[in-house]
Amino acid sequence: MADTKLTPELIAFVQEQKDRADILAALHRYTRGVDRHDRELMLSAYWPDAFDEHGVAEGVAAQFVDWALGWHHENQTRHQHIISNHTVEFDGDTAHGETYYIFWGENREGPPTLAFGRYVDRFERRDGEWRIAHRVCVNELSGQFIAPPISEAWKDMLYKSGPSRRDKGDVSYVRPLTRERAIA
């Protein structure tokens, strides 16, 4: 096994990896917060003076978050914001990121929505914490998703673990997560 020394280069590398992880954690707080309608969690991804340009709406963090949660509540019964490819470039206490997203929403009226795009973000580290300072949501494509019919028996099996909830009653908030019934 090689003798690993704590060199300045290794320390810088470890710090950059921590910064990347902290930025990704902010992105995950945003997506989980919006999908669970958890306003505080969603807001924790942004600095209070952050600005979000989302195409259909824009505003400082609290204004945008309130609009987004209200819009999803009024127009959809369930939705998921899924993030994937993610790059980030650092410039001191500022970082520039690009994160691809997929959005699916079960609309109250009409077929579900399926959308693709990118979040282009400026992150800032303040007092050691990374959050979004400015976001531009680049919408690449949005359309309707027409799913094939599923039998009621199959739906019963799919949703046996309970429906997705958009509040803190969702199974993802259960601590500790335990089995309710034994395996037969």
- The reply to whether 103 falls in a domain is yes
Reported confidence tier of residue 164, pLDDT bands at 50, 70, 90: confident
- The reply to whether 12 falls in a domain is yes
Question: What per-residue confidence (pLDDT) applies to 1?
Answer: 57
- The reply to whether 176 falls in a domain is no
- The reply to whether 3 falls in a domain is no
- The reply to whether 76 falls in a domain is yes
Question: What per-residue confidence (pLDDT) applies to 177?
Answer: 84
Phi, psi at residue 92, to the nearest 5°? 65, -125
Q: Is the pLDDT of residue 183 over 60?
A: no
Q: Is the pLDDT of residue 154 over 90?
A: no
The whole domain housing 133 covers 8-162
pLDDT (average), residues 31-55: 97
- Could you tell me the CATH number of the domain that includes residue 94? 3.10.450.50
- The reply to whether 179 falls in a domain is no
Specify whether the CB–CB gap between 61 and 49 falls below 8 A.
yes
pLDDT (average), residues 34-44: 98
* DSSP tag of 145: -
Going by C-alpha positions, the residue among 174, 163, 165, 135 that lies closest to residue 38 is 165
b/e code 152-182 from CB counts within 10 Å (16+ = b): eeeeeeeeeeeebebeeebeeeeeeeeeeee
Specify whether the CB–CB gap between 36 and 47 falls below 8 A.
no
- The reply to whether 70 falls in a domain is yes
Orientation of helix 8-35 relative to helix 61-75, angle to 10°: 40
Q: How far is residue 88's CA from residue 120's CA, in Å, rounded to a whole number?
A: 10
pLDDT digit string (tens) for 110-124?
999 999 999 999 999
Share of the chain above pLDDT 90, in %: 74
Going by C-alpha positions, the residue among 109, 152, 118, 160 that lies closest to residue 138 is 118
Q: What is the residue-averaged pLDDT of the chain? A: 92
Phi, psi at residue 20, to the nearest 5°? -60, -45
DSSP letters along 56-104, please?
Answer: S-EEEHHHHHHHHHHHHHHHEEEEEEEEEEEEEEEETTEEEEEEEEEEE
Instruction: Determine which of 29-38, 50-59, 65-74, 165-174 has the lowest per-residue pLDDT on average.
Output: 165-174
- Count of structural domains, the chain: 1
Q: Is the pLDDT of residue 140 over 80?
A: yes
- The reply to whether 2 falls in a domain is no
What pTM did the predictor assign?
A: 0.87
Residue 18 in tokens: 């921590």
Q: Is the pLDDT of residue 31 over 90?
A: yes
Question: What per-residue confidence (pLDDT) applies to 159?
Answer: 67
Reported confidence tier of residue 152, pLDDT bands at 50, 70, 90: confident
Going by C-alpha positions, the residue among 69, 81, 87, 93 that lies closest to residue 24 is 87
Question: What per-residue confidence (pLDDT) applies to 26?
Answer: 98
Strands 46-53, 129-144: pairing kind = parallel
Strands 76-91, 94-107: pairing kind = antiparallel
